[in-house]
Amino acid sequence: MTLDLPKESLVKMYRKMLEIRFFEEKVFGLYGQNLVPGTIHLYAGEEAVAVGVCSALSKDDYITSTHRGHGHCIAKGADLKRTMAEILGKKTGYCKGKGGSMHIADFSIGMLGATAVVGAGLPIAVGAGLSARLRKTGQVVACFFGEGASNQGTFHESINMASAWKLPVIFVCENNLYAMGTRQSRIMNIENIADRAVSYGIPGVSVDGNDVLAVYEAACVAVERARRVEGPTLIECKTYRQKGHSRVDPAKYRPREEVEGWLQRDPIKRLRHKLIQTVISTEAELQEIEKEVSSEIEDAVKFAVESTFPAPEEALEDVYAQI
């Protein structure tokens, strides 16, 4: 697919995807050095979804995210340093160390936060959409969740409500085929999550979630529909996580051929290939970007590692807002 996009937009998408990939590789490494408390759920391999969708949004549009949320933050424009610092539990992190990897938010860029309860972000996204409607702002909300979440009651409740009220919400299902270690075919009798849209009377589309341009195009259509007050869309992005569910998961339940097949369809390699092939970018230009991104990530790591931990008694702050 060739989209009539200016070079700078395409290069920006490449750069964002690269930021996520390099960021996640670093997080993986830092975990191994015991610098990351708790657990991590890496987004590597799914970059085209977050970047494709967020490229179709404005800065003041909203997103909601999941336990596998680093990529959503970065795609929406979050600061790499503060994101990394939060993952390391530092005071300089987005949530001052109260949230960690699974709970990052940046309200200043419309990133309404990641919830680690599977499916819990859907109704919150509907509420943000309702709020945009009532405040007449024209904002739209992109709600990320996995195919596992589509079996939660909140999926049904939220999409039905958003559809009944024609709210500006784009439900983005990241179908990476596995809910932890449970393959979709073992727990669902359908192949395409998008088919479920029929029961809510809204459009449902399945796209190649490893093709950032395909995701972007579907998101643009959904965003336009939402802004025209025609209601929500369900976009299913078929993708694959390149690592296990969490850091300790070697993902042995996935056949080797399957993993290799998806690695060959790596979303970043594909866009890179396309940029070179269509003579949009030169090898030298892309290498320069790769160098720059790599250095940005190093800066983020340095910032996070050197930042201090919060004072223990800060645990008692932020429970309630003062009037």
Partner 1 sequence: MRKITYRDALREALREEMLRDSSVFLLGEDIGRYWGGAFKVTDGLAQEFGDERVRDTPISESAIIGTAVGAAITGMRPVAEIMFGDLTALAMDQIANQAAKIRYMFGGQTKCPLVIRTPFGAGVNIASHHSQSLEAWFMHVPGLYVAVPSTPYDAKGLLKTAIRGSNPVFFCEHKLLYPIEGEVPEEEYTIPFGKAEVKREGADVTVVATMYMVHKALSAAKQLEKEGLSVEIVDPRTLTPLDRRAIVASVRKTGRIVVVSEDCKTAGVSAEIAAVVAEEALDYLDAPVKRVAEPDTPIPFSPPLEQHVIPDEKAIIKAIKEVV
Distance, in Å, from the CA atom of 201 to the CA atom of 288, rounded to the nearest integer, reads 47
Least Å from the CB of residue 57 to partner 1: 15
Q: Which is nearer to partner 1, 263 or 315 (CB)?
A: 315
Q: Which is nearer to partner 1, 98 or 254 (CB)?
A: 98
Query: Which backbone phi and psi does 204 adopt, to 5 degrees?
Result: -130, 125
Least Å from the CB of residue 88 to partner 1: 14
Q: Which is nearer to partner 1, 135 or 186 (CB)?
A: 135
Q: Which is nearer to partner 1, 134 or 279 (CB)?
A: 134
The residues of the shown chain that bind partner 1, judged by CB under 8 A, are 62, 64, 93-99, 103, 105-107, 112-113, 115, 117, 120, 122-132, 134-135, 141, 153-154, 157-158, 160-161, 164, 317-323
Here the tokens at position 43 are 């987004």
Least Å from the CB of residue 64 to partner 1: 8
Q: Which is nearer to partner 1, 18 or 162 (CB)?
A: 162
The type of residue at 284 is: A
Least Å from the CB of residue 161 to partner 1: 5
Q: Which is nearer to partner 1, 53 or 125 (CB)?
A: 125
Q: Which is nearer to partner 1, 35 or 95 (CB)?
A: 95
Rounded to a whole number of angstroms, the CA Rg of the chain reads: 19
The type of residue at 112 is: L
Long-range contacts of 228-232 (CB under 8 A, 24+ apart): 229/133, 229/166, 229/168, 230/166, 231/162, 231/163, 231/166, 231/167, 231/202, 232/129, 232/159, 232/162, 232/163, 232/166, 232/167, 232/168, 232/169, 232/170, 232/171, 232/200, 232/202
Q: Which is nearer to partner 1, 64 or 176 (CB)?
A: 64
